[in-house]
């Protein structure tokens, strides 16, 4: 097993995947065990609803941190963890929604419909979940091949909107103490801000390449290599 | 290989069941550390001392519904001054010194007065009132409060004919309480007729003992037909006025928390459906009752009022 972090072997990357997989399962395991041991406080349904929601948001931010981390650290293999992280986001979001539909509302569809229409934080949270479905459904190599890289990437850019909706969902839910939603909003702003900033740098770099000699201007195709 | 059989546990070493069942309470009480433990031993800080038993008489106004778990009543609290997590108040409220404690009853009254907490305990015979408690967050409990009618206290100060409202100001100490989130001190208010209603209680205890800090010790309001936040905790001033008092949550979000805030399944709320509630300890939600089930006693207070407008 090659233990070099910069250029790990496939076996090392697999080992990392296993570790991340187990880590991602821990919050869920903690809630299941807590539920069985009756250790989730006076209002366990509220506890698991909150916890599953907050872990969805945390995992989403971790997923969005992969690209900046990779760029800043040069550890390009980090990208290979991203699909699994993204699918865990969906799994936690699904659990969060299922807890709400089943344990909180007991499939009282009238009440659920009213909630989605009447309560802005539920409207925006539900929207975020619906937008996650196509991303989860296309998180496989087959879908990338079928859609083609460019279209697949365009589709998956909707994760930025989803992340914003998710933070807004949390922000609108809290009654008064916005410290936690504010923390997540700040992290998201940094993650999206870095992307915006890098995009801007790239635009400037493209513009800064000197124009070709006058007599060649018409005939030449400009190819500016990407990094 | 010699396998030693462990000695039997001496009967004297077995913790009595009664104490064993209270082990968490013991640990949480010792949690304040050895220092507090030593001080407690010497009888110094009254706030750290355990709650004490109260003599009470039963009340015809009590519900017969099963009581919520004592751990839930004293461990799942909204008392934002001590933190916004439900478990925060039970962790932090011990920092509040409960003695000396005085309550000033003032404003539009004939005989304004400052009452010591020990005097307040003797204003009227203490009754146990088992009330439903409905939080605006759509959960509910059944709580055995101990207290006396607010009307008994107000009678002693002789409200003036011009008094229309009662304002409650609660204790605020920035050294031990959080500084932001909403405007402190927490204030609440009632119309005078609501304040004089026989259901309106000044509670000094719960579960037959003096109130723990997190439940609003040493003296709190309990208005069972209104959402829980109307029932101000740890009161220091009761002021009679002729203007509707500003109330803490109403100032924070006027569209969500009205002055009246009567439990009303018909009035929509942007965060929680008020049509149903979860009784703490139960899995499925139950329908919420108008005025939290006290309509027979209190509906007449609001005759002719549009309760969707005066929410």
> By CA distance, what is A43's nearest residue in B?
B280
- Gap from B108 CA to chain A (nearest CA, Å): 33
Q: CA–CA separation, B176 vs A165, rounded Å?
A: 36
Residue with tokens 């003695």: B99
Does residue A212 form part of some domain? Answer: no
**Number of A:B CB contacts under 8 A?**
52
In A154-183, the residues whose Cβ lies within 8 Å of chain B are: 173, 175-177
Do B271 and A105 count as a contact with CB atoms less than 8 A apart?
no
The residue range of the domain holding A117 is 10-203
- Amino acid A208: pLDDT: 84
Single out the residue of B82, B231, B79 nearest to residue B145, CA to CA. Answer: B231
* A169 domain-assigned: yes
In a domain, A64, yes or no: yes
For chain B, the three-class secondary structure string (H helix, E strand, C coil) is CCCCCCCCCCHHHCCCHHHHCCHHHHHHHHCCHHHHHHHHHCCCCHHHCCCCECCCEECCCCCCCCCCCHHHHHHCCCCHHHCCCCCHHHHHHHHCCCCCCEEEEEECECCCEEEEHHHHCCCCCCEEEEEEEECCCCEEEEEEEEEEEHHHHHHHHCECCCCCEEEEEECCCCCCCCCCCCCCCCEEEEEHHHHCCCCCEEEEEECCEECCHHHCCCCEEECCCECHHHCCCCEEEEEEECCCCCCHHHHHCCCCCCCCCECCCCCCCCCCCCCEEEECCCCCCEECCHHHHCHHHHHHHHCCCCCCCCC
Tens of pLDDT, residues B206-254: 999 999 999 999 999 999 999 999 999 999 999 999 999 999 999 999 9
Percent of chain A with pLDDT over 70: 91
The answer to whether residue A225 scores a pLDDT higher than 70 is no
For residue A131, tell me if it sits in a domain.
yes
Alpha-carbon distance of B165 to B244, in angstroms, equals 6
Task: Judge whether A223 lies within some domain.
Answer: no
Domain count, chain A: 1
Mutate to test the interface with A, among B285, B286, B287 (most CBs of A within 10 A): B285
Chain B residues with CB under 8 Å of A115 CB are 273
Cβ atoms of B281 and B72 within 8 Å: the answer is yes
Q: Which two three-digit tokens encode residue B38?
A: 């030593």
- Answer yes or no: do B80 and A176 touch at CB < 8 A: yes
Q: Using the beta-carbon criterion (under 8 Å), do B273 and A177 form an inter-chain contact?
A: no
How do residues A71-130 score in pLDDT, each as one tens digit? Answer: 999 999 999 999 999 999 999 999 999 999 999 999 999 999 999 998 999 999 999 999
Give contacts of B273 with chain A, Cβ < 8 Å: 111, 114-115, 118-119
What domains are there in chain B, each with its CATH number?
14-44 (no CATH), 54-302 (3.90.420.10)
Contact B69 A42 (CB under 8 A): yes
User: CA B286 to CA B267: how far, in whole Å?
Assistant: 17
B86–A43 CB contact, under 8 Å: yes
- Are B283 and A119 in contact (CB < 8 Å)? no
Percentage with pLDDT > 90 across chain B: 79
Would residue A174 count as lying in a domain? Answer: yes
Chain A nearest CA to B299, separation (Å): 27
- Does pLDDT of A43 surpass 90? yes
Least confident of A119-123, B35-39, B57-61: B35-39
Q: Indicate whether A210 belongs to any domain.
A: no
**Subunit contact A106:B285, Cβ cutoff 8 A:** yes
Mutate to test the interface with B, among A113, A123, A175, A183 (most CBs of B within 10 A): A175
Decide if A222 is inside a domain: no
Pairing of strands B209-210, B201-206: antiparallel
Query: 3-state class of A32 per DSSP?
Result: helix
Q: What is the pLDDT of residues B160-212, one digit of tens each?
A: 999 999 999 999 999 999 988 899 999 999 999 999 999 999 999 999 999 99
A162: tokens are 């989803």
Distance (Å) from the alpha carbon of B153 to chain A's nearest alpha carbon: 33
Chain segment A12-21, per-residue pLDDT in tens: 999 999 999 9
Supply φ then ψ for residue A50, to 5 degrees: -60, -50
CA distance B112 to chain A (A): 35
């Amino acid at each position: 097993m090659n233990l070099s972090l910069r250029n790990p072997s496939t076996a090392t990357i697999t080992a990392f995947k296993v570790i991340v997989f187990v880590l991602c399962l821990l919050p869920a395991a903690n809630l299941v065990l807590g539920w069985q041991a009756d250790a989730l406080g006076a209002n366990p349904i509220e506890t698991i609803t909150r916890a599953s929601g907050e872990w969805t948001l945390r995992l989403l931010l971790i997923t969005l941190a992969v690209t900046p981390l990779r760029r800043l650290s040069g550890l390009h293999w980090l990208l290979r963890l991203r699909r699994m992280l993204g699918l865990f986001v969906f799994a936690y979001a699904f659990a969060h929604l299922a807890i709400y539909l089943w344990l909180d509302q007991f499939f009282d569809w009238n009440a659920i419909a009213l909630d989605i229409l009447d309560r802005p934080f539920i409207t925006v949270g539900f929207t975020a979940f619906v937008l996650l479905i196509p991303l989860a459904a296309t998180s496989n190599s087959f879908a990338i091949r079928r859609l083609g890289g460019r279209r697949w990437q365009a589709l998956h850019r909707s994760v930025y909107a989803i992340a914003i909706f998710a933070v807004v969902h949390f922000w609108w839910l809290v009654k008064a103490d916005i410290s936690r939603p504010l923390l997540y909003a700040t992290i998201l702003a940094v993650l999206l801000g870095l992307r915006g900033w890098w995009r801007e740098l790239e635009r400037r770099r493209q513009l800064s390449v000197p124009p070709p000699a006058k007599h060649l201007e018409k005939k030449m195709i400009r190819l500016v290599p990407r990094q | 290989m010699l396998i030693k059989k462990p000695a039997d546990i001496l009967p004297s070493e077995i913790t009595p069941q009664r104490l064993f069942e209270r082990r968490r309470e013991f640990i949480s009480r010792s949690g304040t550390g050895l220092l507090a433990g030593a001080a407690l031993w010497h009888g110094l800080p009254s706030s750290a001392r355990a709650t004490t038993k109260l003599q009470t008489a039963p009340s015809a106004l009590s519900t017969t519904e099963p009581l919520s778990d004592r751990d839930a009543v004293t461990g799942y609290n909204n008392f934002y001054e001590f933190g916004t997590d439900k478990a925060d108040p039970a962790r932090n409220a011990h920092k509040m010194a409960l003695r000396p404690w005085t309550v000033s009853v003032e404003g539009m009254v004939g005989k304004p007065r400052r009452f010591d907490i020990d005097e307040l305990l003797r204003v009227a015979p203490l009754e146990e009132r088992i009330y439903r408690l409905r939080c605006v967050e759509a959960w509910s409990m059944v709580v055995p409060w101990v207290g006396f009618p607010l009307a008994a206290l107000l009678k002693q100060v002789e409200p003036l004919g011009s008094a229309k409202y009662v304002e409650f100001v609660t204790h605020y100490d920035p050294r031990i309480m959080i500084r932001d989130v909403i405007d402190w001190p927490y204030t609440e208010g009632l119309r005078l007729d609501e304040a004089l209603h026989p259901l309106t209680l000044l509670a000094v205890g719960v579960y037959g003992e003096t109130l723990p800090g997190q439940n609003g010790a040493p003296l709190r309001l309990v208005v069972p037909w209104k959402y829980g936040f109307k029932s101000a905790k740890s009161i220091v001033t009761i002021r009679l006025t002729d203007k509707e008092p500003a109330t803490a949550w109403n100032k924070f979000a006027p569209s969500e928390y009205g002055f009246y805030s009567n439990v009303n399944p018909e009035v929509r709320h942007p965060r929680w459906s008020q049509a149903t509630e979860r009784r703490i300890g139960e899995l499925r939600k139950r329908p919420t009752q108008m005025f939290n089930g006290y309509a027979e006693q209190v509906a007449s207070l609001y005759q002719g009022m549009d309760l969707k407008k005066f929410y």
